[in-house]
Copies of this chain bind each other. A is one copy, B any other.
Amino acid sequence: MSFLGRGPGNATNGGINMDKIDMALTELDTVTDFFNRMVQSCHSKCINARYAEAELNKGESVCIDRCVAKFNDVQKKVGEKLQSRTAANAGAAPGGFGAL
């Protein structure tokens, strides 16, 4: 998106390397997107939708902790699978997906 805004050629602007900024923002957006999906998924897995009280009860709290651990594992597994597929297709594997 920012490539467009800037027009070509001025990757450096006032001593700022815009490509570096771009990459950092892509990383930030990716982690944010991943985190938001984890919040949504664990909410629908763990939180009782009747909302009889405002506090997390014991069962919900334990469920959240396990849900985060599992979601992280799934993210890693899916990343490895995508990586091995990409490697098989393209011949060479890029840097790991396991850790964001």
B13 A8 Cβ-Cβ under 8 A: yes
**Complex CA–CA separation, A2 to B8 (angstroms):** 13
| Interface-facing stretch out of A15-23, A35-43, A86-94 | A15-23
- Number of chain copies forming the complex: 3
CB of A14 within 8 A of CB of B7, answer yes
Contact count band on A: 10 to 19
> A6 — which chain B residues lie within 8 A by C-beta?
5, 7
Task: Find chain B residues with CB under 8 A from A4 CB.
Answer: 1-2, 5, 18, 21-22, 25
Query: Which partner residue on chain B sits nearest A1 by CB separation?
Result: B1
Do A5 and B8 have beta carbons less than 8 Å apart? no
Q: Residue of B at shortest CB range from A7?
A: B13
